[in-house]
Structure 1
Amino acid sequence: MSGGPAAPPLLEAREVIKLFPVRACQRLFARTAMQSAVTEASVTIHPGETVALVGESGSGKSTLGRMLLGLTAPSGGTILYRGRALAKLDEAARRAFRREVQVVFQDTGASLNPRRTVGQSVALPLQHNLDVWGEEARRRADGLLDLVGLSPARFRDRLPHELSGGQRQRVGIARALASDPAVIIADEPVSALDVSVRAQLLGLMHALRQQRQLAYLFITHDLGVVRALADRVMVMQGGRVVEQGTADAVLEDPRHDYTRRLLAATPVPDPGRQAARLAQAVAGRRG
């Protein structure tokens, strides 16, 4: 017996284009040319799945992520949230979008307000997105800090500069979770961290996905992250998606020359060892 129509993706880009103006030369009245950062790229993110967006610097993956977040408007094509065009959402739907679609940036030093304590940073989205204030906001912020492995008593009153890079990234994850999101776009979230901290944070994010049915878009060049966490992979080159498929298919049997070059240039950790390390980190979180 056939079921009903499939639910729309949580978040979708349909053949989006992004053009940026570039001065053709330095003369005062020089013509402004347009350069394409993303060309007819499409991506879908469904509830509970992890999609990895892979490519070298300048491939357009972060620009595509910013369009999915609503931070950059596409020059062409459409961004959709739960099947509705982002540009046409009414105010109520736009508030829901801002709550349900969250981001974890690579540079936590820049994304956390240096004058705001850890507890205040985590409480802010509770206040603005869920209308939770006062003691209840503090209680929930403490719970989120505890969830990401930061003791509230030790960390709630600290400022960002008093934390390590891994601790700041945990604060970034807690802040994203505060809005009770459906999808998190993580832009190189562990690339600046050492191997052991990276494994811990990947284990944490994997466990949170299981517990909360979160969807992720991982923007990364780290093929170890892709192998450990992703269900599907999209490879970008020069602003275009040149290959996509399941993580196993793309990593084990790449079809595009560019994907093969990426794999050859980036040694991937032994998959058994990577999986064991991730499983150990996840088990530690559950314990």
Structure 2
Amino acid sequence: MKRLKAEYFFENEKFHFFISSYTIKRKEKIEPHTHEFFELVYVFEGKGEHWYEGFVYPIKEGDAFIIEPGKIHGFQVGKDTNLKVFNVLFQLELLKKELQSLVGEDSFLSIFYGEPFLREFAHFNNHLVLEPSEQTEMKIQLQSIAHEYNNKEFGYQLLVKTRMIELFIFLSRCNQKRLNPLFFRQNDHTKAVNQICKFINTHYNVPLSLEQVCKLSGMSKSNFTAKFKQIVGKTFVEYRNDIRIKAAMEFLLNSNDTILSIANKVGFDDVSYFNRTFKEFTKMSPSLYRKEKNKIMLR
């Protein structure tokens, strides 16, 4: 299976971004593939099918969705119409600081993080469907971003980043109007918890609150807390911290980053709390862990 590399699309290592409109013609297939970056897809004309992780979803004009790195997906168009889409490819590092401020909003969390990892549930509404007035605004914003990117005039990179933030805020507002917190059926509690665990493993650095997780799962706080502990054997915070500390251990051994930098990378805003949590998990401080493990590696 083909894996699309970032270097195929991004102009340099400092600006991980690409945008283009693309027409998938009648009877044409885009074979299943994966890629190393995020992909925002907006359908502005026609209809077709989107293959995603073994499932098939109909898509049409006005649909917007995000594909995460490493996910297998492809497209197919029938004999009656073409499918015209905007593809926006980017790495999170491009907008990391700006996006962090939006994570606290449920409407943004749903479309950017919740929607991709819940898409495998057949009963889940697997993409944002824009209304006609919203479709017009979406197309205008994407054309503006594409214009800046293609012309590459002075300051274009800053303008692209600024307009991408505007785009995500616009999509979050659209999503907010139709946000349904009950993503899972009532008898899907085990699936919900398992999906939350998968999410944490992939996005351990996202400052996701317990309240937001409960909304994603469609459970009350008390019910989710009890179900999570029953299924996983740990509380939500304990499980997330375990994943974060394991990631921190890798960074400590395989990078020269400072303790503060590593703490931030794995999702801890408070380095003192990171140090305490790390010591509870490993019985030593981060700096001592790095020192002791490096000694062993040098023997």
| TM bracket (short chain) | under 0.3
Flag the structure with higher helix content: 2
- TM-score, normalization by structure 1: 0.26
Q: More strand by proportion, 1 or 2? A: 1
Pair member with larger Rg: 2
Under a length normalisation based on structure 2, what TM-score does the superposition of the two structures give?
A: 0.25
